[in-house]
Structure 1
Amino acid sequence: MTDSFFYPEGLPPIRLDRVLALQLGFGVRRCRALIEAGRVLVDDRPCAKGALIRPGQHIRVSLPEDAAPDCHDVRLVDRNESFAALAKPDGLHTVAGQEAACLESCLPGLGLEGWELLNRLDCLTSGLVLAAAEKRDAAAYKVWQDAGQVSKWYLALARGEVATLECRGRILDDKRSVVRVTADEDEPLRWTRVRALRQIDGNTLLLVKIFKGRRHQIRAHLAHAGHPLIGDPVYGVCEPGGLYLHHWRLDMPGFTASLLPDWPCVDSVQVEGLLSAFDSD
């Protein structure tokens, strides 16, 4: 089975392994394995996983006949009888779309066959995805979310020096691959609240809190505020290392889960310490 495509015009250069993850919906590790196995050609030549792909270049991938969703990096973080928190790696879609590989297809292998995913993360975003065992559990989650009882915490690395932000602009996200932040104020549950953790080479590691997310909410709000996320190919500049956005923690009635990213700039004590001060500053 062969997949062949051209890297689109108008996009910035990006690593070969990241291009494959976006196009195929596979995890980055699986894409690197395909490259190392000689199954990937760029303009009819093999390339290293870190080679920068530029607009107009032709990529051909020879996939094994038994190619299946890549669940190698998906794992169960925490669960009870009603809810489960899953770790989604960057480069893997949450639900099935044009590509077969997705987090949803990995549920049976985790002992969660028949469970329902309650939130989605962008393909490039890593972190927690929540699943419900029964319809009544999914309904309870929706009630709690509408009441502001579900807190979602993200870690992000943004360009420039950021202190405290509260992004309130309504996002137009209906059938848009790139959303737009308007001058209209959205409902408070749709706001993006931001606090700085530390400065890193002129950029800022952030703790971000939302209650009900819209498509690309954090990415679009931060970019609109003049602080696009590092590695964001849509609202910022595509850079090596991927998108620095990770769903770290989820708090709701009767269930809490957390999963820190493996970024070297993240200090767990510092992140935990900011939680208690977040709502008081």
Structure 2
Amino acid sequence: MRFTWTNTATSPMKVKTLLSAHGVTRSLLKKVKYHGGAILVNELPVLAIHVLTGGETVTMVTPDEIGNDHLGVSGLPITILYEDRDYLIVNKPAGVASVPAHRLPDNTLANRVKGYYRAQHYTNEVVHITTRLDRDTSGIVLFAKHHFAHSIIDHQLKEHAMRKMYLAVVSGVLAEDHGWLDQPIGRAPESFIKRTVTPDGRASLTEYWVVKRLPGMTVVRVRLHTGRTHQIRVHFAHAGHPLIGDALYGGPLNPAIDRQALHCMQLQFYDPFIEQNLTTFAPLPADIVRLIGAEPI
């Protein structure tokens, strides 16, 4: 793949400095150098230490990516919310794991995306999943379609620059229209899967807004400011308001839904390849619509 920039600087700089400013990591530069890629200045090959003086066209050619043969291919369908050369955004249904595990080796969202890539005859079949959801959480999952796009998202995640919004239905009635849940989260000592609020856990911050109050439950819009495993589920359970249907964290059961009432509804990040913010929405699934008596959005 080719990525091209114009050097607008008026003072001398090395090519690697310009590339770094555009999000190219050292590991990607090594792949370009040692695995068949190239760096071109005005279409002539140069080294990363080549000095630019201004006005040049700089192109990075990345090598083909070798697929992971250990990731199986599934022909089951995916629901695409957005796709371009660099990113694929999918609406994951509840009950589907994001990535393979020992008990779920071949029927995950990652397997389905690889099957989609193969059906489209894409040259690159490497599946770069950049955001994940619990198996029984529905909504938006972002895939990068090459190493460079993946590194861009990794940087935004580390800088907390990505905006992820969820819709959750919690038990009980929340008194405040807006609030923060700010407690550290770590592994629960009695379980490999379960998490808990613990003094020696990692800093975790959840923000919420009340959307609708219903008998015995509250619909909330939730923003994650950190990305801990089960963060929304743990924070609301700790606050005494576990999610409806969340058996792992003590949430009350409801005949309208057979899983935790949690859906990733919006994702926003800056896409440097199109030089604009990219915002994607996922409609509410039928079970949450039934639970809260809402119209699908």
- With the shorter chain as reference, the TM-score category is 0.5 to 0.7
Cα gap change, 1:211/1:85 in structure 2, threshold over 3 Å: closer, same or farther?
A: farther
1:157 aligns with 2:157: no
Of 124, 133, 145, which aligns to 2:145?
133
Paired residue type of 1:146 = K
Give the match for residue 106 of structure 1. 112
Give the match for residue 270 of structure 2. 253
TM-score (norm 2): 0.62
Distance (Å, rounded) in 2 between the aligned partners of 1:69 and 1:133: 18
SS in 2 for 1:153: strand
The alpha carbon displacement at 1:259 in A equals 0.4
Give the match for residue 96 of structure 2. 92
Distance (Å, rounded) in 1 between the aligned partners of 2:110 and 2:201: 33
SS in 1 for 2:236: helix
1:171 aligns with 2:171: no
Q: Does structure 2 conserve the Cα–Cα contact (< 8 Å) formed by 1:70 and 1:102?
A: no
- Higher-Rg structure is 2
The alpha carbon displacement at 1:238 in A equals 3.9
Give the match for residue 239 of structure 2. 225
Q: Deviations over 1:195-250 (max 9, x none)?
A: 10001223110000013311111000010011100000100234431221000011
Distance (Å, rounded) in 2 between the aligned partners of 1:191 and 1:185: 12
The alpha carbon displacement at 1:115 in A equals 3.0
SS in 1 for 2:247: coil
SS in 2 for 1:128: strand
Distance (Å, rounded) in 2 between the aligned partners of 1:245 and 1:114: 29
Distance (Å, rounded) in 1 between the aligned partners of 2:167 and 2:245: 14
Cα gap change, 1:258/1:180 in structure 2, threshold over 3 Å: closer, same or farther?
A: same
Distance (Å, rounded) in 1 between the aligned partners of 2:207 and 2:100: 30
Distance (Å, rounded) in 2 between the aligned partners of 1:199 and 1:237: 16
Give the match for residue 10 of structure 1. none
Paired residue type of 2:166 = Y
The alpha carbon displacement at 1:80 in A equals 2.3
Cα gap change, 1:70/1:91 in structure 2, threshold over 3 Å: closer, same or farther?
A: farther
Distance (Å, rounded) in 1 between the aligned partners of 2:208 and 2:199: 19
Q: Deviations over 1:8-49 (max 9, x none)?
A: xxxxxxxxxxxxxxxxxxxxxxxxxxxxxxxxxxxxxxxxxx
Q: Does structure 1 conserve the Cα–Cα contact (< 8 Å) formed by 2:185 and 2:201?
A: no
Give the match for residue 79 of structure 1. 83
By relative contact order (CA 8 Å, sep 6+), the higher-ranking structure is: 1
Distance (Å, rounded) in 1 between the aligned partners of 2:75 and 2:221: 29
Distance (Å, rounded) in 1 between the aligned partners of 2:89 and 2:231: 21
SS in 2 for 1:143: helix
The alpha carbon displacement at 1:185 in A equals 8.3
1:207 aligns with 2:221: yes
Tell me the number of residue pairs that the alignment of Structure 1 and Structure 2 aligns.
Answer: 199
Paired residue type of 2:142 = L
Cα gap change, 1:244/1:70 in structure 2, threshold over 3 Å: closer, same or farther?
A: farther
Give the match for residue 181 of structure 1. 197
SS in 2 for 1:77: strand
Unaligned 5+ segments in structure 2 are: 1-72, 272-277
Distance (Å, rounded) in 1 between the aligned partners of 2:247 and 2:201: 26
Unaligned 5+ segments in structure 1 are: 1-67, 270-281
Q: Deviations over 1:150-175 (max 9, x none)?
A: 01100000001123221111110388
Paired residue type of 1:169 = Q
Instruction: Please say which of residues 200-209 and 257-266 is displaced more in the overlay.
Output: 257-266
Cα gap change, 1:173/1:101 in structure 2, threshold over 3 Å: closer, same or farther?
A: same
How big is the alpha-carbon RMSD for the aligned residues of Structure 1 and Structure 2?
2.3
Identity within the alignment, %: 27
1:237 aligns with 2:260: no
Distance (Å, rounded) in 1 between the aligned partners of 2:231 and 2:155: 21
SS in 2 for 1:107: helix
Q: Does structure 2 conserve the Cα–Cα contact (< 8 Å) formed by 1:158 and 1:228?
A: yes
TM-score (norm 1): 0.65
